[in-house]
Structure 1
Amino acid sequence: MKTLNKILVVAGAVGLTSTAYMLYKLLSDAEEDEDDEEEEKRQSATSKQTVIELNVPSKAAGAIIGRQGTKIKEIQKNTGTRINFKEDGRSKEDDSTRTMIIRGTAESAQRAELVIRDFVANMPVILTEVMSVPSSALGRIIGRGGDTIKSISRSSKAKVYVDRAPDDYRVVEQEVQLTGSREQIDLAKTLIQEKVQEEKVFRAKKSVMEANREKRNKSNMNTKQEKREEIPLDEKEPVHTNPSLHQQNVASWPSGRSFVEVYVSSVANPSTFFVQILTSKSMELDEIVKDMSQYYSKERESDVEDDIGLGQLVAAPFDQDSSWYRARVSGFQGDDPDQLDLFYLDYGDSCYLQKSKVRILQSEFMRIPFQAVECELANICPKDGDSWEEAVVDRFEELTHTAMWTVLMAKLVEIKTLSTGEKIHIVELVDTNEKVDVNIATKLCAEGLAKWCGTEKSDA
């Protein structure tokens, strides 16, 4: 423009008006072209794509991407950039970081970088901690099919990992791994401690339960001995005449645990005995017995059933015991239809009782499964012949503390399902109550009362 003004001054001085106008016009157009060119250059420089490489912690990558890419899409939309991670996924400087590529104008790329840096800076710190819990509480923490531990993870938003119960039942503590923010881990710990406390309460109730059941011991053992002498084995009615009527309602074996705690409640021989599995459900059995005893202490005509058939479920007292229990009619004594052979569904023992003494089993007392689980000792057979001698049965009852409510450890080997639908649990039994653990099968074989069959074992 300075050049143009000089030309106009000169032109005016010499009076060349038309010539000056033409010169002005030409120079004016030239100046405009120069201005347009400069603007185009400026815009080109401004719109030129900028590429920024940004290293972020690998553990933050998932949060930056977001669920199904929602977070990274939001950042791209708000900043007008394109963002992706390098294909190798790692920065050259540190394997613990990942490299992000931000593409856009200088302004938009810088804005995206600031957004991402701010997001990472404000992310909660992810920690991993390990806590120890009693092995006895592991089943309660995991829950059936992992339901409880999944619920703890959902509620706390922490990742909770725990190994299943180890094969060595002598391990008293187990590690639980927790991953999340400080708040998430603390909440998960609180929820786990609640389950541990529940297990402690359960153990305390177990002691009370053992004391309450002690009274059954002498009467049960005396009655069994009398029946054993009264009726030859080949003339006795089978215990499970019609097992299908109650088999579906028998307590199930806990899953995910190698060894479980049991009571041996009744024994026919090492190939046929019954256990009660110690679970929170089994704790309710004493309450049911108490409620039944209170209810049936009063005579009600509506509770009397004249036509009682084979396989029918009834409420009945036990011989020499005033308490009432859940039972099934498994047969009759001789030809007398009024003398019932009862199988007690929560204990596995039997008793003869007059029909007039039994009552209709009310549905309110069916709130938990029957607790007597039929078992067979794994891998052993009678030493001579196909039947167990009386001395072996007596020794087996002694080793298993039958009806003494002493805890044994049981390991499920397999489940046999008979054609009737009846399930037989093949188990190993270990007595851990003394300084040296006693494997019951090994002990019987070592004493010459049984022999190994199936899987070979040593007498260690």
Structure 2
Amino acid sequence: MSYDSLPSLKTLFATVTAGVTGTLVYHYMKTKFFAVNDEENIKVSVHVEVPQQTVAYLIGRGGNNIKHIEEETCTSISFIDPGGPCRLGVIRGSKEGVQLAKLQLLKCVEEYGQLETCEIFVSETTIAWLTSEESKKLREIAALSKTRIYIDGQEKPMSLLVRGTYHQIENARECLKTRLKEMAVEDVQLETDTSKNSMVNHVPNPVKTKSQLSERAIDFEILDPTSSDGFCEVMVSVVESPSKFFVQKCGTLSKDLDCLIDDMTEFYSKGDNRLQYAAPKIEIGNLVATLIPDDSCWYRAKVVSIEPDEESDEEETILSVNLVDFGDTVKVKQCYVASLRPDFLTIQFQSIECRMAYIQPKDGVEWSEKAIEVFETLTYCAHWKILMARVESHATVNDRNVYSLKLVDTNTETDIDIAAELVRLEFGCVVDQESSM
């Protein structure tokens, strides 16, 4: 396997701590390289202007929409920000594939321009049932109807804000009615205001207080097998070393996180919302929303340290925050942090802390920089490729599960046991299971 053939991770971010690889890469530049062995297989490229506000709708965390277009047209699509109101979508591939991809990209841009927001009034009982951990029906309805659904739960009656095209909103309305009938929910009062099927400029109610928000318990996702052989599908988001790295589970949770990041970015990008959800006082341990300036997206985070600057105003205070859905720890200015809107806590934190099972550094002390670099390459760190993982054991560290994993790369013609590959390359040595945790 040749490591030189894989693209290196190069990300511009001056405020990010060492080891940050998981969050910024996929949003900023996603480039695939074509191996052209046949001189007749000529590749071309075209540029398509995409409005800045449309980009989040088009890509998402894993680039789901773009990935679908790429797979259908056998092309590669990346985005360049030259400044100004538009980004450039760069499409590379065969002449025919590029033209098909261009048409699909323009169709997505057109669909975004037709999005509306509809307000659907529901009872408090309905909200509780839709958002309960047991039912998770609200996410299911959003996925089925391909809409974004927000909750405004401060006033009575409460309301759902459904974002999508006219037909998607109607599908969401029908899905909601069907689910309520299926579950035979008692005392549900479902009222819809059909006059509000056009765009509404909705101003959220005041944010909950810190004490109210802290009472809402939310935990990190757990790693369970999804197949009879004990394996599950994961993607590596951040690597500190083979002894400490972070993964995310694949599947519907990936799409849920995509939607969450899109929703947060859309919400906090509006000045009025940021002002209303400004964090009056930041303390270590607070859950917050944070903007990563080089990425232009908003994420959920936990404050881990504060570095006040006595010579500057409070907004220039530097915070270290852990991005709880990826594992990165980054430094940001306090002016880039806001209070979390409560309904942005509807899904569990997605970063899962892990270490490799049955292996340790060759010298038994610490992993070399080269070993860490090779491990990042072997695991496609932040390239969002699926690996097969099997939990060999787990322990609780600082009230959090840490999983000891066997990782297998099935993306190549021959499956690669990543621990065995590190040993073969003389970066590590084998240890027994008890010593590996």
Return the TM-score normalized by structure 2: 0.47
User: Larger helix proportion, structure 1 or 2?
Assistant: 1
Greater RCO structure (CA 8 Å; 6+ sep): 2
Of structures 1 and 2, the larger Rg is shown by 1
